[in-house]
Amino acid sequence: VAKAEGRACFRFYNEEMNAQAVEQLKLEEELRDAMRNHELELRYQPQVDTRTGEVVSMEALVRWKHPDRGMVSPGEFIPVAERTGQIIELGEWVLAEVARHCQYWDSLGLRPFTVCVNISPLQFNQTELPVWIGEFLDVSGLAPERLELELTESAIMTDAETNIEKLRKLKSIGLKLAVDDFGTGYSSLSYLKRFPIDTLKIDQSFVADMESPDGAAIVDAIIALSKTLKLSVIAEGIERFGQLDYLVRRGCDLLQGYYFAHPIYPEDVPDMLCQNFLTELQAS
Ligand code: C2E
Ligand code: MG
Ligand code: MG
Ligand code: MG
């Protein structure tokens, strides 16, 4: 009986896996078309300086306007693109689009602000990344100091010794570097100290969990670590005043989340830059 059940289980598992594989394959093909058919778009989410209330930076976030399925979330297609290698082309498109938007904002005479761009592990692992970005900046005319790369903790901690050199090269171009989703990977503190990074980005899962003592303790620890290492610290996923209040009191430098704004269209960036959130921040 056990054997028969085992087999049934195995078949079920297989069919499920098969359906998943078909779905992935379909998504992969559609993503190829999406890039060709201009179905991808960028949104920008503001990051607020807790001392001045000013929007000092924006994170570029990719969106896929699928012809039949509507908006497909990056949480769904980025992992597929990462597995198939399409993320390389996608990542190049994102940077080119950011450069184009910066040119547009500059033409309106907006004050300069930093744009943060997510770099996937596969992109980061390319040996030629620093050279490619250097050339991209030359050709596009985008000023390096306007660009901050968001790297994941696991990407930079895997093969850390080699990565120090790569991070140094990226820094020497003049870029800023942030560690995204910080706290969810396994950081070696000794490497963290040696990496030429600028910013730690507290993962939103800790912010969501901040009302619990454990969650608050983790947030406290990351902020303390950032002060010790003289890094700037940002918290993402701020949705409620209580979270803002706590993080401001703890000396978090920057905040990002729906409480301030959802990711917005590039056309709405000028208005967003005029906003000041100091009143909200000082209420705490
Ligand atoms: P991430 O880089 O950690 O980005 C933060 C995510 O949290 C974004 O989701 C953002 O829309 C969402 N978010 C912002 N504020 C709040 C909030 O207050 N509450 C909640 N619940 N969520 C909030 P999104 O845009 O769906 O992106 C998901 C992930 O996909 C990103 O996580 C990033 O890892 C990846 N991604 C997005 N755009 C790109 C891209 O251009 N390139 C690469 N390589 N990855 C990208
Ligand atoms: Mg990010
Ligand atoms: Mg993140
Ligand atoms: Mg994330």
- What's the pLDDT band for 43 if we cut at 50, 70, 90? very high
Cα torsion 203, 209, 215, 219: sign: positive
Whether the pLDDT of residue 163 is over 90: the answer is yes
| Nearest alpha carbon to residue 117 among 139, 144, 135 | 144
For residues 207 and 237, give the distance between their C-alpha atoms in angstroms, rounded to a whole number.
7
CA distance 11 to 92: 41
ipTM of model over 0.85: yes
Provide the pLDDT for residue 3.
52
Q: Which two tokens stand for residue 249?
A: 């009191």
DSSP label at residue 153: H
Rounded mean pLDDT of 175-182? 97
**For the segment 206-240, what is each residue's pLDDT rounded down to a tens digit?**
999 998 988 899 999 999 999 999 999 999 999 99
Cα(229)–Cα(218) distance, integer angstroms = 16
Q: Is 154 in the pocket of ligand 1 (CB under 6 A)?
A: no
Counting DSSP H helices and E strands in the chain, the numbers are: 13, 9
Q: Quick: pLDDT tens for 255-271.
A: 999 999 999 999 999 99
Residue 203: nearest ligand to its CA?
3
Question: CA–CA separation, 158 vs 151, rounded Å?
Answer: 12
Instruction: For residue 273, give the amino acid letter.
Output: L
Q: What tens digit of pLDDT does each residue of 99-134 get?
A: 999 999 999 999 989 999 999 999 999 999 999 999
Best mutation site among 42, 47, 61 for ligand 1 pocket (most ligand atoms within 8 Å of CB)? 61
pLDDT at 151 over 50: yes
| Total-model pTM | 0.93
Nearest CA to ligand 1 atom 15: 257
Tell me what pLDDT residue 1 has: 46
Judged against a pLDDT cut of 80, whether residue 61 lies above it is answered with yes
Residue 135 and residue 141: Cα distance in Å, rounded? 10
